[in-house]
Structure 1
Amino acid sequence: MPVGIEAWITQIPPITRAWLGLSVLISLAVQCQIVTPLQLYFSWKSAFVNVQPWRAITTFFYFGSISLDFVFHLFFFMRYSRMLEESSFANKKADYFWLLLLSSVMLLALSPLVNLPFLSSSLAFVPIYFWSRRHPSTPISLFGLFTISAPYLPVALVAFSWIINGSWRAAIADLAGCAVGHVGWFLRDVWTREMVGGPTVFSQAPEPLKRLFGED
């Protein structure tokens, strides 16, 4: 069994693997009462006025207590982040990291406007939305019950999150992720192709970041 688990983990692309690993470790740390959610949430005052900058990072890795919602978000983010990293961003680790980094900055700016102390599920919806826009004709079997085309996947998952949480507030974080994912997709695919006609800072990682990932 350990060999099988190790082989499965090593098959996950590196950025998705690191994201998944940190998310699981932080949730387990909270579950074991090593840290508390109050030490992880993001607010501008806590992060920058009270000089607790780690909150701008941990907010993206805590998916809540281990529950159905935790499994739901972790499963779908891992599935579509992995598929996106293996297809559109194959051999482009720096570009994928840059997409997630820019999305994180946008979500941090959006956080106080929609009162979102934890942004993990929001960021998780960015690769889901991005993948769905880049594969518009792909049919998706949702839980083996429905078949939809890929562009409707984010809407269906937001609706399901709403249902399992029983509150519209639960859908706000996912909707914020869809909004940021749409901005990222537009800047990378539409703006670059139709309005600029070439790469921009939004579509390609800066050279120092590429060198850091060994892609220069």
Structure 2
Amino acid sequence: MALQQEYFSIPPITRAYTTACLLTTIAVQLDFVTAYQLYFNPELIFKKFQLWRLITCFCFYGGMGFNFFFNLLFTYRYCRHLEEGSFRGRAADFLYMFLFGGVLMIIMALFINIVFLGSALTIMLVYVWSRRNPFVRMNFFGLLNFQAPYLPWVLFAFSLLLGNSVIVDIMGIIVGHVYYFLEDIFPRQQGGFRVLKTPRFLQWLFHETSRRADENEARPNEGNNVPFGAGGFHWQ
């Protein structure tokens, strides 16, 4: 069962999240549930206690189509790159990044009319990966070469060209930068300290002890020349 072996070789958080996104979309496609039961609605969450919406609003990208496959591919690629790269052996810290980003997006969504937040979470993952791999070269449809830190802005421009709402891209970039600043920049400044300390119960959940790489050690790069989409997927 090569497919089964490949599936279980995916790191646990990447596997769990991408599977949840895929199954949620299939369930909507087959009419087991409707999108109206999944979207972010503060009134239904806090007054009707439909708490599952806090999770499902991150797991649905829309019906089967280009937008769904595009987002799922990017989520899988960059989530896996992070989990196997700079978060290797630190699953608790990685899950805490998800929780931090999700909570911040939910707070922002209280003031912005956005009902599904999965695309913003994808952009956040891309942003954090791109800032931790500044020397990786990327390729856009074989036409444009650029360094990894420009990837979130290329995706932003791509959304703009397709006529999509760029609010979710902006939200993802903002949340990604907040996490990157608090985790990678501020602790290394004079007088700085680590703000985002992973709770002990998450470390217990993954049977981990708190492990922190030396602050002077460079973040590992996942490659030197990566096509747009990464991981060998050519957008040509």
Normalised by the length of structure 1, the TM-score is 0.92
**Residues 184-213 of structure 1: per-residue CA shift (max 9 Å, x gap):** 00000111221554433x1x3111210111
Q: Report the identity percentage.
A: 39
Q: Which runs of 5+ in 1 are unaligned?
A: none
- Number of residues paired by the alignment? 209
Aligned-pair CA distance for 1:143: 3.0
In the alignment, is the contact (CA less than 8 A) between 1:41 and 1:59 conserved in 2? Answer: yes
Q: Which runs of 5+ in 2 are unaligned?
A: 210-236
Residue among 120, 123, 126 paired with 2:124: 126
1:187–1:19 Cα change, 3 Å = same
Partners of 2:21 and 2:160 in 1: CA distance: 22
Matches within 5 A, 1:28-107: 28-107=26-105
Structure 1 partner of 2:206: 213
1:196–1:7 Cα change, 3 Å = farther
1:123–1:196 Cα change, 3 Å = farther
Structure 2 partner of 1:183: 178
In the alignment, is the contact (CA less than 8 A) between 2:186 and 2:194 conserved in 1? Answer: no
Partners of 1:66 and 1:158 in 2: CA distance: 22
Partners of 1:128 and 1:215 in 2: CA distance: 25
**Residues 130-169 of structure 1: per-residue CA shift (max 9 Å, x gap):** 01011111101223332110010001112223333x23x2
Q: Which has a greater percent of helix?
A: 1
Matches within 5 A, 1:136-147: 136-147=134-145
Residue 168 of structure 2 aligns to which amino acid in structure 1? A
Partners of 1:50 and 1:115 in 2: CA distance: 19
In the alignment, is the contact (CA less than 8 A) between 1:92 and 1:215 conserved in 2? Answer: yes
